[in-house]
Amino acid sequence: MEHKRHRPLTGKVILITGASRGIGAAAAKRLARLGASLAINYNQRRDRALAVLDEIEKAGGEGMVFQADVTQKKQVDEMVGAVRDKFSAVDVLVNNAYFPFEVSPLHQISWDGLAEATRREISALYNCTQASVPGMIEKKKGKIVVISSRLAQQPLPRMGAYAAAKAALEAMANTMAIELGPLGITVNVVTPAFTLTDASSIMPDDFKERIRQSRPLRKHLYPEDVAGTIAFLASDAADMLTGSNVLVTGGSHFQI
């Protein structure tokens, strides 16, 4: 009982896509500390995924790395099968992988650039849910946590491809919340504002500083800040939350 109190996710199998770096890596480490068995997905950076696993194991946690390009259905099916063989069916899916996109005004962007951003985001969620939901149905319980971006609702110029892709993802998540609720599966969205990771490192330092100063909390957002919200949504404490969208912004969603 004591064990369960300190490690409330003991016995849960959690698959995080794009967990070799950034928000996914921070969430993997946090969830493993809470007792979950972690399936650490990566695409190319096996070294970084193994470093996350190493940290988890040194802290007494359990995990395994799984390579798959989550935009490819066959690779995702094989990965989810391998997770089942190693642990059991997935209890919690965190749809987190980040896909670079064409940065351009929408009236000038290439059609391929615009379409590709949405294709990647929605194929990743499509592939991962199609592969994971049957196991959740068998267990009569499951959780899906979808990582969106504040840019879907609070646009910035030249980021339209990403904003449109994340808005589509949010619409899918909301629909799935209704469809999967009767099957015992919750679907929630986490919406981070600008967070310091590899993905955001292309932005100049003065931009980062301006963002920090304009936030009511006057702090940078780090991957660990988002990981705490993901951990809450993955836990039994969030059993009655579905169709929610949790803003992790330091208050910046009140700025215009």
Ligand X SMILES: NC(=O)c1ccc[n+]([C@@H]2O[C@H](COP(=O)([O-])OP(=O)(O)OC[C@H]3O[C@@H](n4cnc5c(N)ncnc54)[C@H](OP(=O)(O)O)[C@@H]3O)[C@@H](O)[C@H]2O)c1
Residues found near ligand X in the complex (CB under 6 A): 17-24, 41-45, 48, 69-71, 96-99, 147, 149, 192, 194-195, 197-200, 223
Residue nearest to ligand X (CB): 22
Which residue among 42, 126, 162, 222 is the active-site one? 162
2 or 47: CB nearest ligand X:
47
Residue that the structure tokens 């000038």 belong to: 108
Rounded to 10 deg, the angle between the 73-86 and 111-139 helix axes is 30
Contact 214, 255 (CB under 8 A): yes
Contact 78, 68 (CB under 8 A): yes
Picking from 180, 161, 251, the residue whose alpha carbon sits closest to that of residue 214 is 251
Least separation, in Å, of the C-beta of 129 and ligand X? Answer: 15
Least separation, in Å, of the C-beta of 21 and ligand X? Answer: 4
Cα(245)–Cα(191) distance, rounded to whole angstroms? 7
Distances (CA, A) of 199 to 19, 143, 256: 13, 26, 23
Least separation, in Å, of the C-beta of 147 and ligand X? Answer: 4
Half-sphere exposure of 233 (CA within 13 A, CB side): 30
Asked about 42 being catalytic, the answer comes back as no
Least separation, in Å, of the C-beta of 18 and ligand X? Answer: 3
Query: What residues are annotated to the active site?
Result: 162
